[in-house]
Amino acid sequence: MKTIGIGMVGTGFMARVHSLAYTALPFYKWPLVVSPRMAVIADIDSELAAEGARRYGYARSTNDWRQVIEDPDVDVVDILTPNNLHAEMAIAAARRGKHVICEKPLACNAREAQEMYDAVTRAGVHHMVGYNYRRTPAVAEAKKLIGRGDLGRVFHFRGTYLQDFGIDPRLPLWWRFQKSQAGSGSLGDIGSHVLDLALHLVGDVEFVTAISRTFIPERPLMTAKPNFLSTAGAGFAVTEPDEMGRVDVDDVTAILLEFAGGATGTLEATRFAAGRKNHLGFEINGEKGSLAFDWEHPAELRYYNATDPSDTQGFKTILTGPQHPNGELLWPLAGFGLGFPEPIIVMMNEFLEELGGGPRQSTGFEAGVKNSRVMDAVVCSVTSGKKERVS
Ligand SMILES: NC(=O)c1ccc[n+]([C@@H]2O[C@H](COP(=O)([O-])OP(=O)(O)OC[C@H]3O[C@@H](n4cnc5c(N)ncnc54)[C@H](O)[C@@H]3O)[C@@H](O)[C@H]2O)c1
């Protein structure tokens, strides 16, 4: 079996999940065409890097991401850092001939995202962006039904990504609250995921009109170093206000979408929806039926078929399993449930199969560029107060 060396940059939340996915792959699929080999992990903090190597099973650690890119044992560079670092790292990796996986949002703006796409295509390397939710069997089933024409003409997409972790004012000014590191707030952090589902399921967006708000404009400066490895959640305890710093990103962004195909849409991304922990949801309404999904029930797709007899019409729940797209890789029966890592396991399997000579199936950087173009138009609309065209 061919092995492929993984070089990971970052040791935080998503490094944990990507590492878990590489390690778990043989438990889902055997034999593998290409087997991942955990070569090296980097973090700007050498203690975190060393602890990450021990915990996740990498052979070496470093506090310099450039060593990952230069390492002859590394074939794939997997970038899991704050968003402002993605472009420099991905472009350098592509120039060294490494395949690149990069978390979303691909970059802080469309110009950077395009440069990343140009670099990977020029280098002829494989590339994938972390739009994991697309790979959920229920979402893949929705894609299949829409593609088959079961909904007929699509009229509406109604998408939300709701969390509530931002409500606590003692949560410190971590990178997700700073434009210089995150690019944007709720918009890029979670809005880009639901936007990805809109683009994937309904098609290109032509115009946007958007508003945003920052409800908590100042947060306590971080006093202690975060430890993303040893604690749950964000990796640090909430702190009592001491010295404060300015939050310069959106806490909520709400968007009206006009799709090129004629459908209309709404999209809301917020970290201030009390009680909503990871409510990534959508409803799509077409002339022959509707589909609804909510990540808080990730194995379920709700389907309304308008051609059912009128006395039995109503939404039904499809419990996804091996008979649905991507489900065959997971468990042998519907009803065994689904967790956050499974769609990422599907993603990694697709990518490694491509490296083994299989057909292109993963979500490449082009999806990140398209997403960033819509987000740039959203930012313009928030500033101008007007409807903006997506370039
Ligand atoms: N696909 C998803 O569902 C999903 C979910 C969460 C986050 N993300 C994305 O994943 C990325 C990482 O997010 P996270 O939640 O893991 O963040 P995190 O804060 O938990 O981890 C970031 C890590 O990057 C390290 N780092 C910072 N600067 C570095 C540098 N110069 N060199 C090496 N390491 C450096 C930090 O020390 C930390 O270990 C972000 O782009 C985020 O948007 C995606």
How do residues 115-160 score in pLDDT, each as one tens digit? 999 999 999 999 999 999 999 999 999 999 999 999 999 999 999 9
Distance from C-alpha of 322 to C-alpha of 330, rounded to nearest angstrom: 7
pTM of the model: 0.96
pLDDT confidence band for 234 (50 / 70 / 90): low
Query: 63 C-alpha to center of ligand 1: Å?
Result: 15
Residue of 8, 13, 225 best suited for mutating to test ligand 1, as the one with most atoms within 8 Å of CB? 13
Residue of 8, 9, 11, 14 best suited for mutating to test ligand 1, as the one with most atoms within 8 Å of CB? 14
Pick the residue whose CA is nearest to atom 29 on ligand 1.
44
Residue 242 has pLDDT above 80, yes or no: no
Residue 384 has pLDDT above 60, yes or no: yes
Query: 8 C-alpha to center of ligand 1: Å?
Result: 11
Query: 116 C-alpha to center of ligand 1: Å?
Result: 18
- Using DSSP's 3-state secondary structure scheme, residue 140 falls into helix
Predicted confidence at residue 223, as pLDDT, reads: 74
Mean of the per-residue pLDDT values for the chain? 95
Predicted confidence at residue 232, as pLDDT, reads: 42
Find the mean pLDDT for residues 270-274.
97
Residue of 9, 17, 43, 178 best suited for mutating to test ligand 1, as the one with most atoms within 8 Å of CB? 43
Predicted confidence at residue 302, as pLDDT, reads: 98
Predicted confidence at residue 230, as pLDDT, reads: 43
How do residues 297-309 score in pLDDT, each as one tens digit? 999 999 999 999 9
Residue in 247, 167, 195 with CA at minimum distance from that of residue 370 = 195
Percent of the chain with pLDDT over 90: 91
Per the CB < 8 A criterion, the answer to whether 84 and 108 are in contact is yes
Residue 238 has pLDDT above 90, yes or no: no
Give the binding-site residues of ligand 1, using a 6 Å CB cut-off: 9-15, 42-45, 48, 65, 80-83, 85, 103-104, 130, 132, 189, 228, 235
- 118: CB partners within 8 A, 6+ apart: none
Residue 288 has pLDDT above 70, yes or no: yes
Atom of ligand 1 nearest to the CA of 85: 31
Find the mean pLDDT for residues 279-297.
97
pLDDT confidence band for 346 (50 / 70 / 90): very high
Cα Rg of the chain, angstroms: 21
Distance from C-alpha of 335 to C-alpha of 328, rounded to nearest angstrom: 13
